[in-house]
Chains A and B, each alone.
Chain A
């Protein structure tokens, strides 16, 4: 079958089409891992580029994500049965005091769309909860999100708690959100700042590598 058309359907956000073509590809004996690596990830890469160029916006990104997840649902059991390893594992959450999660959701989509496994701690997450997740070894990367200036101090607290939980500094912390800047990231000792969801992927690749 034509895997290009499956990729295009991901980009177009056609969930039904993606489900049908993914099933067809699996039926034809194409490996789940190659559907993921050769179709879904490059497809979401294109989506990310379009988003970064402002050609795509939140609704298009959400539609593409829905299409991607409908394929992932079919692939996951097979990936888990095989010796598939994700590109990396990330923990994400909106810091304490902040209930806004659209930015975090977009970051999750872009990370998962690029082969990372993501543990979502939700919104209004206390610093201790991030630290616990790090101690439990849930990820090599932590993404912190904040929408309000008022919750920036909570972000700083979370970074400190993560550092305490991981004195070797193996776990990397990236931050983002409307009030966050590179200067703020530097001042609280975060490993990276991303302007948007696609920047999170670039940072993840740089900081914890790629499969």
Chain B
């Protein structure tokens, strides 16, 4: 039944923000809030499938839609919660956007630093004839990191990390591709949002370090294939439809002004080359940073972020895959999921028979980020609360040795079985639902299947892998034990897993400061063979086989 349309715009007061916006007839609240320049969480870009954009109507609640009934609990619906993307306010009203409260806005992004970076910092400075400053940029689907370098000394003078502003158009590369393809205007919009954010953050960083932005003479940029295309203003559409191929792999050096930079108009910008398919220059930079071909024996490089990429290296043999792992470990499509911001539960442990949650910056728990999600699932499998198949046991079937504090958290109602992690968080209870476990299984199985396909492809056995290097935002926060217990990597690599941080950023800095490394990046991009998973029977089999927990 179509809703009766109001004839004039309605006024919506955003409680707690001191703001009022106008919503025109036929425009969803979600669109209206976004048009007003405010952020509202969404994993599905407003299609009514993720449930992230829930807002609380304090008066004049619009009628509930099917999507509300599906994604919100009956109590929430009765209490005035609605999905902003499905809400078309009929009369003036007041709403509360939970994600936009001051605490959630004080988000800070942590920059990963690890032993490998320490190594770089302490290695003797590269000999270089370059002068002035340079910037190495790692454009992630979720996070962008800029490293400001003093080129004459190969010295890092500052770093700036911020959320990729394209997030407003969807959390994953496919939604960005869809948006960018609408028309050249939307493509430019995505490109300019990114370059503007880079410029703004870099100018601020330069000011802090008392450096004139105009003295930045060079930039190197890495990212996945979609980010590389959008950064250059190239329509990434072919990456979104079969056979999922990029428009370009290598990029000529460009002037900053061609990309939309103003203060960095004269800088020479080098986008590092990609490998093929969705394997972009961030993976090349990672392999370069780890110097994988020169490490002895067989090694595996896994970049676990919004996408999962895996490269297997045995001397000069290099092959890589990109796994459509699904964004569960970014907290997407998880009932209580969230990105790794303050208040996200990042560790879940059992300590003396009670559940212990550790959050980022020790803030009040709001939701679960990837590493906390992984910990929780691993704990539940270990305790027999989750069967190997991923099925929750019934509350009265919890094994007798499980301590009372864990036992009482296993619950069941009309919606199914669940595990209660935290009561009364900011966004309601933090729980793990049965379908969350299924999302985790769908996210972890393709990564392992990717490893298996690479082993097949190179004629190697899992036992021959001597080292596993795990990079990426999620890869750096998840415990090695969890990677094993979830089955992301084979049991034979126990004791051989190394978290290596943001290798993409490291590789970008190497290529920025040394021509040898830049040349090597080109060679690597050409020598890593891209293995396409989607049509392979061994991938399908390994995928199905690895859905259960080990």
Chain A residues in the interface with B (C-beta under 8 A):
53-55, 57-60, 62, 96-100, 102, 123-124, 148-151, 154, 179, 181-184
Interface residues of B in 504-550 (CB under 8 A from A): 534-535, 540, 543-545, 547-548
Q: Assess whether A183 is in contact with B240, with CB atoms less than 8 Å apart.
A: no
In the assembled complex, the Cα of A151 lies from the Cα of B544 at a distance in Å of: 24
Given contacts A54-B434, A181-B47, A182-B66, contact A98 B242 (CB under 8 A): yes
Residues of B within 8 A of A149 (CB): 174-175, 177-178, 240
B24 within 8 A of A: no
Q: Assess whether A150 is in contact with B178, with CB atoms less than 8 Å apart.
A: yes
Q: Assess whether B174 is in contact with A60, with CB atoms less than 8 Å apart.
A: no
Given contacts A59-B389, A148-B174, A181-B47, contact A124 B242 (CB under 8 A): yes
Residues of B in contact, count (CB < 8 Å): 34
Q: Assess whether B416 is in contact with A54, with CB atoms less than 8 Å apart.
A: yes
Q: Assess whether B174 is in contact with A62, with CB atoms less than 8 Å apart.
A: no
Q: How far is the CB of B388 from chain A (nearest CB, A)?
A: 10
Residues of A within 8 A of B434 (CB): 54
Partner of B544, one of A54, A58, A183: A58
Q: Assess whether B544 is in contact with A59, with CB atoms less than 8 Å apart.
A: yes
Of all chain B residues, which has the CB nearest A50?
A: B391
Of all chain A residues, which has the CB nearest B241?
A: A97
Complex A-B: 26 CB contacts under 8 Å? A54-B435, A57-B389, A57-B390, A57-B391, A57-B438, A58-B442, A58-B544, A59-B545, A59-B548, A60-B389, A62-B544, A96-B241, A97-B241, A98-B242, A99-B242, A102-B540, A124-B242, A149-B175, A149-B178, A150-B174, A150-B177, A151-B240, A179-B47, A179-B49, A181-B49, A183-B48
Of all chain B residues, which has the CB nearest A63?
A: B544
Q: Assess whether B416 is in contact with A100, with CB atoms less than 8 Å apart.
A: no
By Cβ-Cβ distance, the 4 closest A-B pairs, closest first, are A150-B240, A97-B241, A54-B434, A99-B534
Contact with A along B173-186 (1 / 0, CB 8 A): 01101100100000
Q: How far is the CB of B536 from chain A (nearest CB, A)?
A: 11
Q: How far is the CB of A85 from chain B (nearest CB, A)?
A: 33
Partner of A150, one of B67, B181, B544: B181
B428 within 8 A of A: no
In the assembled complex, the Cα of A2 lies from the Cα of B174 at a distance in Å of: 51
Residues of A within 8 A of B438 (CB): 54, 57
B362 within 8 A of A: no
In the assembled complex, the Cα of A123 lies from the Cα of B66 at a distance in Å of: 31
B474 within 8 A of A: no
Contact with A along B33-63 (1 / 0, CB 8 A): 0000000000000011100000000000000
Residues of A within 8 A of B535 (CB): 99
Residues of B within 8 A of A98 (CB): 241-242
Known: A59-B544, A182-B66. 15 other contacts (CB 8 A): A57-B390, A58-B442, A59-B389, A59-B547, A62-B544, A96-B242, A98-B241, A100-B534, A102-B543, A123-B242, A124-B242, A148-B240, A149-B175, A150-B178, A181-B47
In the assembled complex, the Cα of A124 lies from the Cα of B177 at a distance in Å of: 18
Residues of A within 8 A of B314 (CB): none
Residues of A within 8 A of B175 (CB): 149
In the assembled complex, the Cα of A124 lies from the Cα of B174 at a distance in Å of: 17
In the assembled complex, the Cα of A4 lies from the Cα of B212 at a distance in Å of: 81
B237 within 8 A of A: yes
Q: How far is the CB of A64 from chain B (nearest CB, A)?
A: 13
B243 within 8 A of A: yes
Contact with A along B196-235 (1 / 0, CB 8 A): 0000000000000000000000000000000000000000
Residues of A within 8 A of B548 (CB): 59
B322 within 8 A of A: no
In the assembled complex, the Cα of A188 lies from the Cα of B438 at a distance in Å of: 30
Of all chain B residues, which has the CB nearest A195?
A: B70
B441 within 8 A of A: yes
Q: How far is the CB of A147 from chain B (nearest CB, A)?
A: 8
In the assembled complex, the Cα of A151 lies from the Cα of B174 at a distance in Å of: 10
Partner of A181, one of B48, B534, B543: B48
In the assembled complex, the Cα of A119 lies from the Cα of B49 at a distance in Å of: 30
Q: How far is the CB of B229 from chain A (nearest CB, A)?
A: 13
Of all chain B residues, which has the CB nearest A100?
A: B534
